[in-house]
Structure 1
Amino acid sequence: MIIKLIFTRGPSLNVRVVLCLLAASVLMTADHYHRVTWLRSGLAIAVYPVQWLAHAPQELGNQVWSNFTGRAQLLKENRQLKAEISRLKRRTLKYEALKKENDRLRAFLDNSFKLGEQMLVAELLAVNLAPYEHVVLVNKGGHFGVHVSQPVMSVDGVVGQVIRVTPVNAEALLITDPSHAIPVQVNRNGLRAIAVGSGHLDRLEVPNLPNNADIQPGDLLITSGLGGVFPQGYPVAKVTDVAPQPGKPFARISAKPTAKLDRIREVLITWGQSTPKPFLPAVTPAATPSEGTADAP
């Protein structure tokens, strides 16, 4: 049977070519007149899986590459945006700090005009808050006319007074130092007293007032002008506690400084004299040779 199939001869090659050409011509003619649309659709449906399988590797590779490059681009943009956010945050913090500093300096200027004193703005360089010594170092000294016993203020009230001066800086003793005392009076009724430092930044002591003294929590203590150091009328502290002591002649009175001594960054060094003190020493002009000749006998 196998030998018969091998040696069986079919139509010749020429006949096959003619038949193929004839079939092609018939199909082309029928397709031209849209007679085999159904056949084209059926063949397209039958061939679609083969086409999809043929294109699947390329499509998969393109998708993987696109996802990879897209992820890398997103990561790069994410890093750039994070860096930009950090930069903007730093700039915002810097602007906020500058705004607060500008507000403080504006308050200093307004306070200077209000009080009518000559004032010099100084910045704190160092703070010494040892248990028994409250001293701050400021960046203005003798070169700017600063002198010992000069009052030091803030926009909220009295800070202290200058105790040591060098040409480039000065040290100020805070009113909370245990060795510091300042004459005050109650703003409500004019009662005079002495406010003494307690060694704590948030408390002053007002000793030597009798138990029946007319003073109560909430009273504002201002400088009385006695002693010749602090001009009259500057806020010093607010009374926080008044405790009469039975069996003792004097009450225990505490007050809180109006100046924020634990957070100040700039202070006002004031001059109480009516004649302003120059910030820079005056330059004495040298005598000319002609003047020296004229004065000679």
Structure 2
Amino acid sequence: MAPPRHRDRGFSRRIQYGLFFGYVAAAVGIVVGLALILIARFYPLAFEGVRGAALDASTPVAILGRPIARGADDIGGEIGAYFNAASQNRNLKAQLAAAQRELIDSRRLAFENARLIRLLKLMEAGSRPVVSARIVGSGLSGSRRFATLAAGSSDGAHPGMPVRAAEGLVGRIAETGSHAARVVLLTDGGSSVPLRIVRTGEPALAEGRGDGTIEVHATIAGTQHFRRGDLLVTSGVGGVFPPDLPVAVVTSISGEIARAQPLADPAKLDFAMVLPIAASPPPLALPAGRPR
């Protein structure tokens, strides 16, 4: 005959033994607890010994658990530091950006101070300018190149007067109003300036190309006159431009014609000086080594 599908717990000796020992353990625990309460109440000195024994028994467990607790604290600290790293990174980036802005401002101020010092030395060393004014704009029309100067006839500026910056010659005034003037730049297609090659002293003539550069022609026939890197200055011939004003540097050569880059870039200039027209042209300087 098959055993029943659902048997009562009384049929399992294991369950019966488990219940029996559980009851016994509970009863023992209750008895021990009552005994400890009675000892603590009526025999305090004896209870101190029991507490000392319990302390001795729990000390090894505490010793073993302390490193685990410290490790858990360290892990918690590392996790907190990890989550704080993002905010710290943002703060550091903000500080770096602020430092970069301050560095840019300091470099800008240093550049501005150096430019003003060059202008001051220029005013002290050269002829006294008629007026110093801000360049407020520029215009392009085909090969024509102009700039607008915030100074006019009421400030003493008149057509034909040279205009220069600390870096070099900019051009000359073409027309004036009461408080503004139009300057024909060196690179204008209709501009021409007598020059001198500093290295040899030979004369040359610069003509604007209308593309931001000038074309320089040698005025004396012969061998190669130009070298890349030659510095070109005004010769003073014609009586308009004072002599020895820096003008341009030679960048390429094709026979007796060279292309040069002006030293003064109007697009990067803030201020320029209007100079008086030279009173009389100086004598033409002959090239070194040639007979007089």
3-state secondary structure, aligned to 1:178: coil
Secondary structure at the counterpart of residue 268 of structure 2: coil
Partner in structure 1 of residue 39 of structure 2: 23
- Contact residue 176 and residue 200 of structure 1 kept, 8 A: yes
**Displacement of 1:237 after TM fit?**
2.3
Given that 2:203 and 2:219 are in contact with CA atoms closer than 8 Å, whether structure 1 keeps it comes out as no
Give the deviation of 1:206 after TM superposition: 1.9
Q: How does 1:229-248 map to 2 (within 5 A)?
A: 229-244=240-255
Matches within 5 A, 1:92-107: 92-107=103-118
Q: 1:127 and 1:28 mapped to 2: Cα distance?
A: 105
Ranges in structure 2 where 5+ consecutive residues have no aligned partner = 1-33, 62-75, 280-292
Give, as a single letter, the amino acid of the residue that structure 1 aligns with 2:261. K
Residue 127 of structure 1 deviates from its aligned partner by 1.8
Give, in whole Å, the separation in 2 of the partners of 1:272 and 1:240.
Answer: 29
- For 2:239, the equivalent position in structure 1 comes to 228
SS in structure 2 at match of 1:129: strand
Flag the 1:24–1:193 CA change in 2: closer, same or farther, 3 A.
closer
What does residue 216 of structure 1 align with?
226
Q: What is the CA–CA distance in structure 1 between the aligned matches of 2:257 and 2:35, rounded to whole Å?
A: 129
Of all paired residues, the percent bearing the same amino acid is 25
User: CA offsets per residue over residues 116-138 of structure 1, 9 Å max, x none?
Assistant: 43353322211223331111112
Q: How many residues align?
A: 242
Residue 125 in structure 1 maps to residue 111 in structure 2 = no
Partner residue in 1 for 2:260: 255
Per the alignment, residue 16 of structure 2 pairs with none
- Correspondence for 1:38: 53
- Closer/same/farther in 2, CA of residues 237 and 93 from structure 1, 3 Å limit: closer
Confirm whether residue 151 of structure 1 aligns to residue 151 of structure 2. Answer: no
Does the CA contact (< 8 Å) of 2:204 and 2:216 recur in 1? no
TM-superposed CA distance for 1:177, in Å, is: 0.5
CA RMSD between the two structures? 4.3
Q: Measured at CA, do residues 121 and 35 of structure 1 come closer, stay the same or move farther in structure 2, by a change above 3 Å?
A: same
* Map 1:50-65 → 2, pairs under 5 A: none
2:147 corresponds to 1:136: yes
- Give yes or no for contact 1:201–1:262 (8 Å, CA) kept in 2: no
The 8 Å contact of residues 134 and 174 in structure 1, kept in 2 or not, is answered as: yes
Q: CA deviation at 1:108?
A: 0.7
Aligned-partner SS, 1:177: coil
Question: What one-letter code is carried by the residue in structure 2 that aligns with 1:105?
Answer: L
Following superposition, the deviation at residue 170 of structure 1 comes to 1.6
Paired with 1:75 and 1:243, the residues of 2 have a C-alpha distance of 61
Residue 108 of structure 1 is matched in structure 2 by 119
User: CA 1:152 to 1:43, structure 2 compared with 1: closer, same or farther past 3 Å?
Assistant: closer
Residues 125-184 of structure 1: per-residue CA shift (max 9 Å, x gap): 112233311111122222321111111112222110111222222221111111011122
Match of 1:269 among 260, 271, 274: 274
Gaps of 5+ in 1: 1-17, 47-62, 245-250, 275-297
- 1:74 deviates by 8.3
Q: Give, in whole Å, the separation in 2 of the partners of 1:191 and 1:235.
A: 15
Q: 1:198 to 1:74 in 2, by over 3 A?
A: same
Change (3 A) 1:24 1:220: closer
Q: Deviation digits for residues 29-71 of structure 1, max 9, x if unmatched?
A: 1244x4651135547999xxxxxxxxxxxxxxxx9xxx7xx97
Q: 1:28 Cα shift? A: 1.6
